[in-house]
């Protein structure tokens, strides 16, 4: 009887594992729930512009493959900035 119980527990452990409990999100950094979309997009745009400038400056200190990698990161950030700017234009048209 004990062997059967042990075998069942072992099989259940390996064949029917309990689903992992999701980790609660960290509240250390949190966006205010009622902030408006325009403010979120403006902040994202400014953050992306800063990240683009940092990557560009960093690339200036590098050479070869590392420089190419830093410039590629800068380009991806710049493309994201353009997309956020377009979304911001749609939220608050300037014309």
Q: How far is it, in rounded angstroms, from Cα 86 to Cα 95? A: 13
pLDDT on residue 5:
83
Q: What is the pTM of this model?
A: 0.64
Instruction: Name the band, by pLDDT with cuts 50, 70 and 90, for residue 1.
Output: low
pLDDT on residue 94:
66
Counting residues of the chain whose pLDDT is more than 90, the rounded percentage is 58
Q: pLDDT (tens digit, 9 = 90+) per residue, 65-94?
A: 999 999 999 999 999 999 999 999 998 776
Q: Of 43, 73, 79, 76, which is closest to residue 58 (Cα–Cα)?
A: 73
| Higher-confidence position of 8 and 42 | 42
């Amino acid at each position: 009887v004990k062997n059967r119980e042990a075998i069942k527990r072992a099989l259940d452990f390996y064949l029917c594992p309990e689903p992992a409990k999701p980790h609660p999100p960290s509240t250390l950094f949190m966006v205010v729930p009622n902030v408006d979309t325009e403010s979120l997009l403006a902040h994202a745009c400014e953050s992306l512009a800063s990240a683009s400038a940092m990557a560009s400056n960093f690339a200036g200190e590098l050479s070869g493959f590392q420089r190419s990698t830093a410039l590629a990161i800068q380009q991806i950030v710049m493309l994201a900035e353009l997309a956020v700017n377009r979304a911001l234009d749609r939220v608050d048209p300037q014309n």
